[in-house]
A and B are shown apart, each in its own frame.
Chain A
Amino acid sequence: MPIPAGEARGPAAGAATPSMISVNGIRIEMIERGSGRPLLFLHPGIGIDANAPVLDRLAAGGRLLAPSHPGFGASEGPRHMTTVDDLSYFYLDLMDQLDLRDATVVGVSFGAWVAAAIAVKSTARIARLVMANAVGIKVGDRETRDIADIFALTEPQLNELAYCDPKIGARDYKAMPVAAVTATARNREALGRYGWQPYMHDPKLKGRLHRIRIPTLFLWGTHDRILSEPYGRAYCAAIPGARFELIDKAGHFPHVEQPQAFADRVLAFAAS
């Protein structure tokens, strides 16, 4: 669904406005800030807000690239893009097109699933990987639901599980600009497109994680009740040498609830 570039502008158009780029004929919006070594931020299912404090903090340590995945935000989502595998090839192409080198790829939740799907295919352009409160694999037995069924929750119920402070997730849609509400609706639809079935994971991914042989850091918001910490530790254990660190006073979206702590950990890891 093509969206005119003008409509992609959020409430604080100007410095925060994402630009549009085309990769393989798919036009997506991307926030680009700062300079230095590239840091590719892959957003979770709730999308990325151009005014999110974490972005400036990450941009302080390098060249931040924060795209909206195809189908999310104001990015086009052609109907042939149906799987996280499709997204991973899209980002391999994006990194080729922008000639990124030694990138740090940072994914949160759904974005971390995308990051892992990229990294099992090729880390030729990636130096380091950060996986925050990642979904994407199956850990428990067939009757254990590893990942809370977010499509079987009302928005307040979801916020209770997702945030350390659920008030942070609350939105007043009547007061928001139409473009921002449209992005919210598109984010939910896109998340359904990629994650409805199998639910928020690729059954093949776990068996391929051993192929990731670059330094990898797992960050985990301790108050996440969409995922459990044992799930995160099992995920981490499947990637050789990956480290696991907790972020306190944060839930499923630590970049939202603890932007400074999140950016500090990422930048320290990127520089190590």
Chain B
Amino acid sequence: MRVYHFTEQPYPNAWEKHEGSLRINLPNRHLDPKIAADLFHRYYDEWLLCDELGFDVMLNEHHATATCMSSTCIVGLSVLARQTKRARLLVLGYPIGHRPDPLRCAEELATVDVISRGRLDMGFIKGVPYEFPVSNQNAVGVMDRFWDAHDFIIKAMTSHDAPFNWESEFFHYRHVNLWPRPYQQPHPPVWTTTGSPINARIVGERGYVMATLGTGYATRPLYDVYRQAYTAKFHKPPAADRFAYLGLVAVADTEAEARRRGEMVSIYLGSSAIVAPQFRNPPGYLSVEDNVRILRGDPRPRTGTKDGGFIDMRTAGVQELIDAGILFCGTPDQVYRQITEFCDYCGGMGNLLMMGHAGHMNHADTVGNLTLFAKEVLPRLKEYKQPVAEATVAA
């Protein structure tokens, strides 16, 4: 198993100043650039430590928000492409459906891949609802635009003999000729996120790495849809490395200390949801059926727990989050057991996207969390033998 350390690179110093919204309309005067600089350097230092400890690295981007200062993932990738030595660099994700210019996306990503000597993983995403009011991209039809951008980027990365022409509904180029071309052949691995069976099928048919977030003990059905689609297309079951799961991690020598860290990391779940209600559902982001359900007051989707119950992960406590497989928290033995138990439930899951830092968690706690995990849990996870999913055994 690979383990990618992830932090949203938050600016928690402004979190107490919000009036119901950490995103979109929280004025940026609440950000002190000097503090922001210190935080960026600290987060990069922690990723450099990860490079030494045996972790891989995951970055993302959001816009106009104190929950995530990284508004351009390319900058972080660029810094780390040069400064890290061995870690894979996953961006999850790059919201290509929002970008006006996918040629620029392809150029940036190929350059990062070359500088890192082939360590880039390209996660392409639709983006959360709150991105649309900021990018001003239309959420109606965004997946059509997303796949057009995707097709273009892949073609740009894999065409080497002559410039090509691209005149689609969304993008228009006449001389596409990518310099530099990517280091990895034919192109860096493609990842994406999903929460729906429809998308799980589409991703499975393409054989891309599928990541889920917040799905807990309701993850398996999505993986099985992927497995079915993958097997139908490639005539063999997908390996565990086709699956990724974002889990919060808090480990310490004692359970009490781990739970203290668990409280800090899980602050991400509540803070992430602090956004003015009018920005939570741009038209076209959700299906008409989902919007009808919301208008009629049906309860919002919740996260499944091991024993078949449900929690609301935004308000749940540490124990509930552990029960739901959202948070892996405890002593190294406990955390190893929780993670492998979850992998067994999933029928195999080869990439843990470990949120090892969030919110106000300080450098010492973050380093403690990462170092203990690297020493006591990571080596055992690397040895761990993935189960073979029943759904794909026959093939």
A residues neighboring B (CB under 8 Å): 1, 79, 82, 151-154, 157, 173-174, 178, 181-182, 184-186, 188-189, 191-193, 196-197
Contacts and interface: CB of A to CB of B under 8 A. Distances in A.
A155 B14 CA distance: 28
B140 A192 contact: yes
A173 B133 contact: no
B288 A154 contact: no
Contacts of B133: 151-152
Contact of B283 (A173, A178, A182, A193): A193
B283 A188 contact: yes
A196 B278 CA distance: 15
Given A151-B283, A154-B278, A173-B297, A185 B292 contact: yes
B295 interface: yes
A4 B136 CA distance: 33
A193 B144 CA distance: 13
A62 to B, nearest CB: 34
Contacts of B144: 79
Q: Which 5 A-B pairs have the closest CB atoms?
A: A192-B283, A185-B291, A193-B140, A173-B295, A196-B138
Nearest to A187: B283
Contacts of A1: 288
Contacts of B138: 192-193, 196-197
Interface string B126-138: 0000000100111
Given A79-B144, A153-B278, A154-B278, A192 B292 contact: no
Interface residues of B, number: 20
B295 A185 contact: yes
Nearest to A184: B295
A155 to B, nearest CB: 9
18 contacts: A1-B288, A79-B144, A152-B133, A153-B278, A178-B296, A181-B292, A181-B295, A181-B296, A185-B292, A185-B295, A189-B283, A189-B291, A191-B283, A193-B140, A193-B283, A196-B284, A197-B136, A197-B138
B141 A197 contact: no
Contacts of A191: 283
Contacts of A192: 138-140, 282-284
A8 B288 CA distance: 15
Nearest to B144: A79
B296 A174 contact: yes
A49 to B, nearest CB: 16
**Most chain-B Cβ atoms within 10 A of its Cβ — which of A151, A178, A184?**
A151
B161 to A, nearest CB: 34
B279 interface: yes
A185 B286 CA distance: 10
Contacts of B297: 173-174
Contacts of B308: none
Contacts of A181: 292, 295-296
A184 to B, nearest CB: 7
Nearest to B277: A154
B284 A189 contact: yes
Contacts of A193: 138, 140-141, 283-284
A156 to B, nearest CB: 10
Interface in B124-162: 133, 136-141, 144
Contacts of B139: 192, 196
B139 to A, nearest CB: 7
A188 B291 contact: yes
Contacts of B140: 189, 192-193, 196
B279 A189 contact: no
Nearest to B132: A196
Contacts of A196: 136, 138-140, 282-284
